[in-house]
């Protein structure tokens, strides 16, 4: 059965993104092609922001650039009012180029180099400190620069969320943050109070990614607010920014249900509200760092079928022009991405296929045992929900060029990232003297 999310349509059996036919897009821009739908991104941002801002007076949504750091995408979110969650100096530069002020940015990661910290401090970016040594490094850099740093601590609240182990980050054994249960997080705040150049403004946690149930977020809010109260009572520290991280998932499989941000907001805000009222604390700014939720389902990878191969006893292989080089999630996490024949949406999905990429590696497939319309050479195959962690995690295995990215805005389409060329791939290589 054909399953399309509500922001897609079918016309004459062809997939429509925005108002444009993908058959035309493939002709105009070639394949493999990432297609991003601008209006869908705006819709998702607005839904997320409204869910929280309708329930709490001060909310800042910082788009997590790691999901998709394309400059045009960053600009769309900036134009909606989003801040930015950045995890490297280059993401910081992209966000700055998109026009996001440093004061609306947060810098995350367990290994921030001195030069990255310097860039963050110079731009007044809030730094989510991840270790004691990083805290000392920040103090040293700020005293040298004669600047102050706005900091927050990433704490690890040990929340279980059902997701792939590689992307569950809130568990106690994960590499991130200061442990809450053992008092380590509390000690970090106490240490910062003795420092001259750091201003403690926040508390941060990120419990994982691709979470489709509200309970872990509520538990996160509870555990963090308990620490807020402890800090107030024992150290008289007031936390003015509560950064709850990202993690709201999207449905990838047809049977998965969306997690409505309103449901998450209702639960989290009621925890914050009841604790602040009961303890008579000022209302903090609530901050979030969604990545996947913002851009995941706005992206489609458009690929073309080169060959098909029948094999007795197994589904017929179809070989498309993009694989684990363009989209590594299936190979890396066993992730499911929905696949349809984009020029045969009205045909019945009666045939079973394995969908292979072009690379010399058996793990190079984007889907196995998929029911699709009958596939022929030159058909277009659409791989859905690739807007987050798609191109961002792509690579050039077997010297494949990374796909181009097209942005569709209703009836308009423009390239927002060019297809890599042979020159792009070899530009950085050099021949040493002795091989010349
Ligand atoms: N904030 C922090 C500190 C994070 O580590 C992450 C994601 C986010 C925000 C955004 O999370 P989101 O809202 O997108 O779930 N490559 C994996 C996902 C890794 C997520 C890492 N951290 C994937 O392809 O599923």
Domain with CATH 3.20.20.10 in the chain: 108-290
Whether 108 is in the pocket of ligand 1, judged by its Cβ within 6 Å, is yes
* Ligand 1 atom with least separation from CA of 211: 15
Contacts of 420 (CB under 8 A, 6+ apart): 396, 401, 402
Does the active-site annotation cover 62? Answer: no
Domain with CATH 2.40.37.10 in the chain: 8-37+296-426
Average pLDDT over residues 194-203: 96
Residue 163's pLDDT is what?
66
* Ligand 1 atom with least separation from CA of 208: 15
Give per-residue burial for 58-85: e unless 16+ CB within 10 Å, then b. ebbbbbbbbbbbbebbbbbbbebebbbb
Average pLDDT over residues 262-277: 98
* Ligand 1 atom with least separation from CA of 169: 5
pLDDT tens digit sequence for 100-147: 999 999 999 999 999 999 999 999 999 999 999 999 999 999 999 999
Residue 103's pLDDT is what?
98
Distance of CA 420 to the CA centre of its chain: 23
Question: H or E stretch including 337?
Answer: none
Q: Six-digit token pair at 83? A: 């801040």
If you measure from the C-alpha of residue 309 to the centroid of ligand 1, how many angstroms do you get, rounded to a whole number?
37
Q: What does pLDDT average to over the chain?
A: 96
Name the active-site residue from 6, 236, 334, 360.
360
Nearest CA to ligand 1 atom 8: 246
Whether 293 is in the pocket of ligand 1, judged by its Cβ within 6 Å, is yes
Contacts of 430 (CB under 8 A, 6+ apart): none
Q: What percent of the chain has pLDDT over 90?
A: 96
Average pLDDT over residues 289-298: 98
Whether 85 is in the pocket of ligand 1, judged by its Cβ within 6 Å, is yes
Give per-residue burial for 247-276: e unless 16+ CB within 10 Å, then b. bbbbbbeeeeeebebbbbbebbbebbeebb
From the list 150, 148, 208, the residue with the least C-alpha distance to 177 is 208
The residue to which tokens 């859905």 are assigned: 384
Task: Give the separation between CA 245 and CA 111, rounded to whole angstroms.
Answer: 17
If you measure from the C-alpha of residue 387 to the centroid of ligand 1, how many angstroms do you get, rounded to a whole number?
13
pTM recorded for the entire structure: 0.97
What are the distances in angstroms from CA 381 to CA 235, 319, 343, 345? Answer: 59, 10, 8, 10
Given ligand 1 and candidates 292, 383, 387, 388, which is best to mutate, with the most ligand atoms within 8 Å of its CB? 292
Which ranges in 236-305 belong to alpha helices (H)? Answer: 261-279, 292-295
If you measure from the C-alpha of residue 247 to the centroid of ligand 1, how many angstroms do you get, rounded to a whole number?
6
Residue 299 predicted with pLDDT over 60: yes
Decide yes or no: CATH 3.40.50.80 for domain 8-37+296-426. Answer: no
* Ligand 1 atom with least separation from CA of 167: 19
Whether 392 is in the pocket of ligand 1, judged by its Cβ within 6 Å, is no
Residue 25's pLDDT is what?
98
For the beta carbon of residue 137, count every other beta carbon within 10 angstroms. 16
* Ligand 1 atom with least separation from CA of 108: 3
Residue 168's pLDDT is what?
61
If you measure from the C-alpha of residue 61 to the centroid of ligand 1, how many angstroms do you get, rounded to a whole number?
15
Nearest CA to ligand 1 atom 16: 389
Residue 294's pLDDT is what?
98
pLDDT tens digit sequence for 394-419: 999 999 999 999 999 999 999 999 99
If you measure from the C-alpha of residue 395 to the centroid of ligand 1, how many angstroms do you get, rounded to a whole number?
18
Whether 156 is in the pocket of ligand 1, judged by its Cβ within 6 Å, is no
* Ligand 1 atom with least separation from CA of 296: 14
Residue 1 predicted with pLDDT over 60: no
If you measure from the C-alpha of residue 201 to the centroid of ligand 1, how many angstroms do you get, rounded to a whole number?
23
pLDDT tens digit sequence for 145-183: 999 999 999 999 999 887 666 666 666 778 899 999 999
pLDDT tens digit sequence for 301-317: 999 999 999 999 999 99
Residue 164's pLDDT is what?
63
Residue 230 predicted with pLDDT over 80: yes
If you measure from the C-alpha of residue 411 to the centroid of ligand 1, how many angstroms do you get, rounded to a whole number?
31
Distance of CA 217 to the CA centre of its chain: 17
Residue 391's pLDDT is what?
98
For the beta carbon of residue 238, count every other beta carbon within 10 angstroms. 13
Whether 208 is in the pocket of ligand 1, judged by its Cβ within 6 Å, is no
Evaluate whether 380 touches 341 at the Cβ level (below 8 Å). Answer: yes
pLDDT tens digit sequence for 83-92: 999 999 999 9
Residue 174's pLDDT is what?
83
- Dihedral pair phi/psi, residue 74, rounded to 5°: -60, -35
Residue 161's pLDDT is what?
82
The fold of the 108-290 domain, in CATH, is TIM Barrel (3.20.20)
Q: Six-digit token pair at 370? A: 């998929």
């Amino acid at each position: 059965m054909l399953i399309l999310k509500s922001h897609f349509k079918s016309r004459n059996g062809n997939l429509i993104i925005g108002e444009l036919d993908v058959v035309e897009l493939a002709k105009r821009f070639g394949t493999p092609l990432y297609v991003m739908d601008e209006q869908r991104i705006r819709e998702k941002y607005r839904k997320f922001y409204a869910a929280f801002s309708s329930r709490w007076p001060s909310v800042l949504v910082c788009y997590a650039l790691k999901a998709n750091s394309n400059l045009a995408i960053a600009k769309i979110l900036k134009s909606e009012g989003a801040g930015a969650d950045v995890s490297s100096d280059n993401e910081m530069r992209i966000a700055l180029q998109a026009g996001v002020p440093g004061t609306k940015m947060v810098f995350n990661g367990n290994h921030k180099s001195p030069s990255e910290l310097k860039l963050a401090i110079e731009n007044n970016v809030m730094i989510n400190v991840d270790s004691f040594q990083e805290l000392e490094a920040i103090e040293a850099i700020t005293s040298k620069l004669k600047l102050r740093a706005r900091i927050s601590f990433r704490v690890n609240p040990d929340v279980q969320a059902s997701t792939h182990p590689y992307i569950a980050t809130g568990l106690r054994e994960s590499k991130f943050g200061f442990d809450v249960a053992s008092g380590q997080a509390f000690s970090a705040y106490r240490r910062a109070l003795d420092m001259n150049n750091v201003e403690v403004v926040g508390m941060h946690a990120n419990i994982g990614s691709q979470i489709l149930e509200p309970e872990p977020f509520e538990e996160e809010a509870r555990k963090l607010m308990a620490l807020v109260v402890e800090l107030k009572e024992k150290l008289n520290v007031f936390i003015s920014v509560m950064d709850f991280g990202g993690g709201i998932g999207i449905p990838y499989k047809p049977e998965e249900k969306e997690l409505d941000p309103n449901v998450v907001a209702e639960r989290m805000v009621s925890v914050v509200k009841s604790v602040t009222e009961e303890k008579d604390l000022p209302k903090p700014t609530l901050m979030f760092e969604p990545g996947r939720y913002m851009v995941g389902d706005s992206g489609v990878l458009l690929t073309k079928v080169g060959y098909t191969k029948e094999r007795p006893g197994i589904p017929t292989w179809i070989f498309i022009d993009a694989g684990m080089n363009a989209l590594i999630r299936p190979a890396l996490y066993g992730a499911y991405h929905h696949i349809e024949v984009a020029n045969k949406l009205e045909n019945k999905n009666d045939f079973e296929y394995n969908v292979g990429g072009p690379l010399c590696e058996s793990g190079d497939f984007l889907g196995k045992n998929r029911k699709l319309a009958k596939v022929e050479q030159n058909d277009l195959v659409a791989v859905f929900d690739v807007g987050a962690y798609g191109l961002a995690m792509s690579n050039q295995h077997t010297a494949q060029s990374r796909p181009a990215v097209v942005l569709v805005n209703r009836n308009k389409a423009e390239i927002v990232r060019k297809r890599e060329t042979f020159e792009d791939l070899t530009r950085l290589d050099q021949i040493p003297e002795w091989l010349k």
